[in-house]
Amino acid sequence: MGRLKEFLRYPRSMPRLATVPVAIFLAVAVFGPMLAPYDPAAQNLLAVHQNPSLTHWLGTDKLGRDILSRILAAAQTSAVGISFVLAFALTIGVILGAVAGFLGGLVDEAIMRVVDVGQSVPSLIVALAVIGVFGTGFWIMVIALALAWWPGYARISRAAVTTVLRQPYIEALHVIGASPWRIFFIHLLPSAAGAVLVYATADAGAIALTIATLSFLGLGIQPPTAEWGQMVVDALPYLEQHPLEVIFPGLALTLVVVGFNLLGEAIALNKTPRPLPRRLLRLIRSEQLREAV
Amino acid sequence: MAYDQPLSRSPLLKVQSLSIALYSRASKVYAVDGLSYELEQGETLAIVGESGSGKTVSNMAPLGLMPVGVSADIRGKVLFKGEDILTCSIERLRALRGAEIGVIFQDPLSALNPARTIGRQIAEVAELHLGFSHTASEARALDLMKMVGISEPAMRMRQYPHELSGGMRQRVVIAMAIAAEPSLLLADEPTTALDVTVQAQIIRLIKDIQSRLGMAVVLITHDIGVVAGMADKLVVMYAGRVAEYGYAKQVLTRPVHPYTQALLNSLPRDTDLPGTEFRGLVGSPPSLAVRASGCAFSPRCHKAFGKCVEARPSLFDVHEGGLHTSACFASADAELEVGV
Amino acid sequence: MRAPVLQVENIVTTFPGSRPGSRITACDHISFTMNEGEIVGLVGESGCGKSTLGRSIVGLERPSSGRVVFDGVDLASLSGRKLREHRRKIQYIFQDAYASLNPRQTIGQILDETLRVAGEKDARRRNSKIEMLLPQVGLSGEIAARYSRELSGGQRQRVSIARALVMEPRVLVCDEPVSALDLSIRAQVMNVFLKLSRELNVASLFIAHDLALVHQASQRILVMYLGRLMEMGDSETLYRSSRHPYTRALLSAIPDPNPRVEQSRKAIVLKGDVPSPMSPPSGCLFHTRCWMKEEKCMHDIPSLFEGENTLQRSACHFASEVPARAAGLLSGS
């Protein structure tokens, strides 16, 4: 958590542009529905399929609902969905991966074989399988997606833990007699969580896309709750006459996914996803030079 | 080894007021500040210093051998056989490196390509810089391996670096450095990564090759023992500046600069019984990000007085008409000042 | 005569070799004792197993056989919390001070955590302990707010020592504590170390490759080569009249800073390199490089515990001849 706070405090450590699309998305997700001019569920059968105008900036859909309001509401739905999926997937993934890395041996083998299987099946198939068995619904979708995503996080978490375990400062903790619980929870888990969080931020775009895909198939977010994928499938029959109704939600989704991908790339290129206070940054640079000298 | 400077022949290597500032993305470091020395053919000069003294940069930067991401602003002159290598082209520099100037780095493992046999790596140098044919260079590699004392050279030629011990690897690196029979050898901490019982072997080897090929050697080290065993001349560096300079026999037996004295004092003496308190300096070397306006050593110097903090001492002659100079106000005779 | 605080008995520690199924013996039946307040030096070159021995004593490596007896208790007979409680009294100083300090914690946090592990539940008492601890190792209190990055090598190592002291150890194993430090600042750490072992009566095992340094710090010296003890005895006696050809070579490698002396003195220079631990020589491990080698040395393993002299032990078939033959070699025959 501390890392996340630092991350938010020093945005200058990463290329600023990459954070903008995601920042906009989050802002919209939080404030959008409040700023929406209309109730996203309010139907007006007298004003269906309207083109963008001054009253409806993005037009209306087949039931006369304001598209702009629906897109803003869908942003929130998306964000909520992504958040829950991440919360569950990260919790399961980070902990299982860390346990595997820490305990090693048979436990490690067992967990990693499950991870292997999990990773070999495409996320969409996993989600479809779960939904197929348990039916549709918001929470089922969230759990299905979490089950699809946790293996990847577990792998990263385990890698982070095994790297840290070899560090002398962990050995030092053993020597002073720190209990394995302390080493695991206070020292290993935070590093694992930090490493995974970094990748997770980039991953969010893929989750958004999968939620939209499921909703498109009618298996995700159910109407009347607005969701981009759902809006696209609703407007699909009218593609020829009213293409904008498909384009606007599609565009919103695209921007969000691309935004997250950009963020992910920026993080990967930066290679030091944990920003350090400037004082330390200067010290590191001069120490590197000193060592070269 | 004469005390008087030969007037007819200019020195093989002449460094004049070399100053190097290093830049990385966020900071600037004054790594070397006014280094000057001369080296004759066949002589050995040691540059001694601890971390942050500037000793490695002083030799690597002029040859263009700095790590990636660091650029250097170099001033002064480095005259090799009369030619200023600071102003020559990159191609010329590359041609010099290897053919005329051989380099031995500290860590032999990182200097060798792990994916190629050592025979190939040595032969390559001969091919590149001497224009030998494939067979000729292989023969040369074999000769060189014998010269550097590698046992069973024919068999070892086909081995890879990881199959050799540390001492062997260093011998391979030396073989590569001298393959083209350079007139100058730069050795950066050549024995630091080696076992104690192997260090003496390598020192002997370098000295042996030096006399056979008539090479001059610049030896960069923090190990005074190595200096005592090999060096004719000695430069003691502190915080990028020259603290003391002179013939090794004089500087090491009658050091004048308080830093040199402290350094020599830190060595355990034969007469120190178990339990004797250790001798050394307090504090740590200054950051090179700031150019000290006074003497860089003054904060840690027990002889420091007012002037030391205000002005930077230049190199003063220790005796009249000799090579021995020291940059210290406390031990200088002001009338014998020599410009930096 | 009080019982020794630490008894190492026939420790054997092995590692898997690079060839499948093979094992490297890093420590081959090492036995010695340490008394309260004593500083014992352990010297050797690369591959001799001195680091592994240190780690085996502290519990970072598990010996395949042998015992570590601390204060009369065989550590192998304990487990879980009891083992941890005993182990805390045997502390360890790492060679790389920087890597042994968590880069994400301030010095104060590192020491605070150590105190918490030691059982000090009261935060205020922990704070005051930290304030007392830092000056003991020659550091000022404001170090507590810094990160390890911000400290010099000497300061970092002193922090390591402070951390070890939190546990009030009876035994301190130091693995090359000053090797990575500049020559002129080694004294800062060495003197702290000497002072503390005297004042707190801690038994210390000082592991290094620099024999001159070890000689000045220790009362007794152990010399290791390829996993076995070659010589063991009083520091000054070993330094002046060693009875093992390997130790003699190590002593010969110590340079003299006077060039006139250094360039003209005769030294025992060993041929070849240290053999790979993967294929150790037969008989006496040192025979492949020994300047006194005889036929016998290739087949018979010399024992450290032979001979009448119980204070100065040498694992050499010709130990009694070593001083004379070394003198002969060095005087220029």
Rounded CA separation B35/B17 (Å): 5
Probe site for chain B from A276, A282, A289 (most B CB atoms < 10 A): A289
Rounded CA separation C78/A177 (Å): 14
| Residue C24 contacts residue C277 (beta carbons within 8 Å) | yes
Number of residues that make up chain C: 333
pLDDT for position A11: 45
pLDDT digits (tens, 9 = 90+) for B244-272: 999 999 999 999 999 999 999 999 988 89
Q: Can you say whether the dihedral through the CA atoms of B206, B207, B209, B215 is positive or negative? A: positive
pLDDT for position A274: 44
Q: Which helix (H) or strand (E) holds A29?
A: helix A16-35
Helix (H, G, I), strand (E, B) or coil at A91: helix
Mean pLDDT to the nearest integer, A196-219: 87
Whether A276 has a pLDDT exceeding 70, the answer reads no
Whether B57 has a pLDDT exceeding 90, the answer reads no
pLDDT digits (tens, 9 = 90+) for B172-194: 999 999 888 899 999 988 888 88
pLDDT for position C33: 93
Interface partners of chain A (CB pairs < 8 Å, 3 or more) are B, C
Which residue from B25, B51, B55 is facing A290, i.e. has the nearest CB? B51
Buried b / exposed e over A91-113, threshold 16 CB at 10 Å, is ebbbbbbbbbbbeeeeebeebbe
Share of chain A above pLDDT 90, in %: 28
Interface size A-B, in CB pairs within 8 Å, comes to 44
> In this predicted model, which residue has the larger pLDDT, C233 or C2?
C233
Rounded CA separation B214/B184 (Å): 9
Rounded CA separation C90/C88 (Å): 5
Looking at A2-11, A210-219, B3-12, which range is the least confident one?
A2-11
The answer to whether B47 faces chain A, any CB pair under 8 Å, is no
Rounded to a whole number of angstroms, the distance from the CA of A171 to the nearest CA of chain C is: 7
pLDDT for position A289: 52
Q: Can you say whether the dihedral through the CA atoms of B73, B76, B78, B84 is positive or negative? A: positive
* Angstrom distances, CA of residue B217 to CA of B177, B186, B282, B301: 12, 6, 33, 32
For residue B108, the Cα-to-chain-centroid distance in whole angstroms is 16
> In this complex, do C263 and B281 lie within 8 Å of one another by their Cβ atoms?
no
Which residue from B168, B197, B273 is facing C45, i.e. has the nearest CB? B197
Whether C92 has a pLDDT exceeding 70, the answer reads yes
pLDDT for position A284: 54
> In this predicted model, which residue has the larger pLDDT, B5 or C213?
C213
Three-class secondary structure assignment of chain B: CCCCCCCCCCCCEEEEEEEEEEECCCCEEEEEEEEEEEECCCCEEEEECCCCCCHHHHHHCCCCCCCCCCEEEEEEEEEECCEECCCCCHHHHHHHHHHCEEEECCCHHHHCCCCCCHHHHHHHHHHHHHCCCHHHHHHHHHHHHHHCCCCCHHHHCCCCHHHCCHHHHHHHHHHHHHCCCCCEEEEECCCCCCCHHHHHHHHHHHHHHHHHHCCEEEEEECCHHHHHHHCCEEEEEECCEEEEEEEHHHHHHCCCCHHHHHHHHHCCCCCCCCCCCCCCCCCCCCCCCCCCCCCCCHHHCCCCCHHHHHCCCCCEECCCCCCCEECCCCCCCHHHECCC
Closest residue of chain A to B55, computed from CA coordinates: A293
How many helices (DSSP H) and strands (DSSP E) are in chain A?
12, 0
Q: Provide, as residue numbers in chain A, all residues whose Cβ is less than 8 Å from the Cβ of B289.
A: 286
- B72: CB partners within 8 A, 6+ apart: B20, B21, B22, B23, B57, B61, B66
Looking at A191-195, B36-40, B274-278, C284-288, which range is the least confident one?
A191-195
Among left, alpha and beta (phi > 0; psi -120 to 50; other), residue C332 is: left
Interface size B-C, in CB pairs within 8 Å, comes to 135
Whether C124 has a pLDDT exceeding 50, the answer reads yes
Across the strands, what pairs with C23?
Answer: C16
Rounded to a whole number of angstroms, the distance from the CA of C173 to the nearest CA of chain A is: 11
Whether A3 has a pLDDT exceeding 70, the answer reads no
Interface partners of chain C (CB pairs < 8 Å, 3 or more) are A, B
What phi and psi values does residue B85 have, to the nearest 5 degrees?
-75, -10
Rounded CA separation A65/A225 (Å): 12
| Residue B263 contacts residue B236 (beta carbons within 8 Å) | yes
pLDDT digits (tens, 9 = 90+) for B204-246: 999 999 999 899 999 999 889 999 999 999 999 999 999 999 9
| Residue A238 contacts residue A49 (beta carbons within 8 Å) | yes
| Beta-strand relationship, B216-221 and B184-188 | parallel
pLDDT digits (tens, 9 = 90+) for A45-54: 887 888 888 8
Rounded CA separation C226/B252 (Å): 36
Among left, alpha and beta (phi > 0; psi -120 to 50; other), residue A289 is: alpha
pLDDT for position A34: 82
What phi and psi values does residue A90 have, to the nearest 5 degrees?
-65, -45
pLDDT digits (tens, 9 = 90+) for B129-148: 888 888 888 898 999 999 89
Share of chain C above pLDDT 90, in %: 57
Rounded CA separation A227/A236 (Å): 14
> In this complex, do B225 and C256 lie within 8 Å of one another by their Cβ atoms?
yes
* Angstrom distances, CA of residue C75 to CA of C30, C51, C207, C227, C249: 16, 19, 22, 22, 36
Whether C22 has a pLDDT exceeding 90, the answer reads no
> In this complex, do A293 and B289 lie within 8 Å of one another by their Cβ atoms?
no
Mean pLDDT to the nearest integer, A100-126: 92
Mean pLDDT to the nearest integer, C42-60: 91
> In this complex, do A290 and B52 lie within 8 Å of one another by their Cβ atoms?
yes
Instruction: Using alpha carbons only, give the angle B242, B108, B141 rounded to the nearest 5 degrees.
Output: 115
> In this complex, do A293 and B25 lie within 8 Å of one another by their Cβ atoms?
no
> In this complex, do B50 and C183 lie within 8 Å of one another by their Cβ atoms?
yes
- Mean predicted lDDT score pLDDT of chain A: 83
* Angstrom distances, CA of residue C45 to CA of A134, A162, A179, A236, C304: 66, 30, 34, 76, 19
Three-class secondary structure assignment of A132-153: HHHCCCHHHHHHHHHHHHHHHH
pLDDT for position B3: 45
Mean pLDDT to the nearest integer, C23-51: 92
pLDDT for position C222: 96
Mean pLDDT to the nearest integer, B82-92: 86
Helix residue spans in chain C (DSSP H): 50-58, 80-87, 107-118, 123-136, 153-166, 183-200, 211-217, 235-241, 245-252, 259-264, 295-299, 322-330
Share of chain B above pLDDT 90, in %: 30
Whether C227 has a pLDDT exceeding 50, the answer reads yes
Which residue from B195, B229, B284 is facing C154, i.e. has the nearest CB? B284
Crossing angle of the two packed helices A228-235 and A67-103, in degrees rounded to 10: 130
| Residue A93 contacts residue A61 (beta carbons within 8 Å) | no
> In this predicted model, which residue has the larger pLDDT, C304 or C31?
C31
Whether C324 has a pLDDT exceeding 80, the answer reads yes
- Mean predicted lDDT score pLDDT of chain B: 85
For residue C215, the Cα-to-chain-centroid distance in whole angstroms is 12
> In this complex, do C60 and A167 lie within 8 Å of one another by their Cβ atoms?
no
| Residue C181 contacts residue C156 (beta carbons within 8 Å) | no
Confidence bin at B1 (pLDDT 50/70/90)? very low
Report the CATH number at residue A238.
Answer: 1.10.3720.10
> In this complex, do A292 and B27 lie within 8 Å of one another by their Cβ atoms?
no
The answer to whether B204 faces chain C, any CB pair under 8 Å, is yes
pLDDT for position A273: 40
* Angstrom distances, CA of residue A101 to CA of A105, A117, B24, B40, B319: 9, 18, 37, 60, 67
Helix (H, G, I), strand (E, B) or coil at C99: coil
Whether A271 has a pLDDT exceeding 50, the answer reads no
Rounded CA separation B55/B240 (Å): 7
| Beta-strand relationship, B184-188 and B13-23 | unpaired
Token code pair at residue B81: 């056989």
Residues of chain A in Cβ contact (below 8 Å) with chain C = 167-169, 171-179, 182, 186-187, 280, 283-284, 287
> In this complex, do C87 and A177 lie within 8 Å of one another by their Cβ atoms?
yes
Structural domain tally of chain A? 1
pLDDT for position C308: 63
Longest dimension (CA), chain B: 67
Provide the residue range defining the domain that includes A22: 2-292
| Beta-strand relationship, B325-326 and B316-317 | antiparallel
pLDDT digits (tens, 9 = 90+) for B101-111: 988 887 777 78
| Residue A195 contacts residue A160 (beta carbons within 8 Å) | yes
pLDDT for position C84: 84
> In this complex, do A290 and B288 lie within 8 Å of one another by their Cβ atoms?
yes
Rounded to a whole number of angstroms, the distance from the CA of A231 to the nearest CA of chain B is: 48
Q: Provide, as residue numbers in chain B, all residues whose Cβ is less than 8 Å from the Cβ of A281.
A: 26
Share of chain A above pLDDT 70, in %: 86
Buried b / exposed e over C50-81, threshold 16 CB at 10 Å, is bbbbbbbbbbbbebeebbbbbeeeebeeeeee
Whether B332 has a pLDDT exceeding 70, the answer reads no
| Residue A189 contacts residue A90 (beta carbons within 8 Å) | no
Mean pLDDT to the nearest integer, C318-325: 90
Probe site for chain C from B284, B288, B302 (most C CB atoms < 10 A): B284
| Residue C217 contacts residue C191 (beta carbons within 8 Å) | no
Whether B8 has a pLDDT exceeding 70, the answer reads no
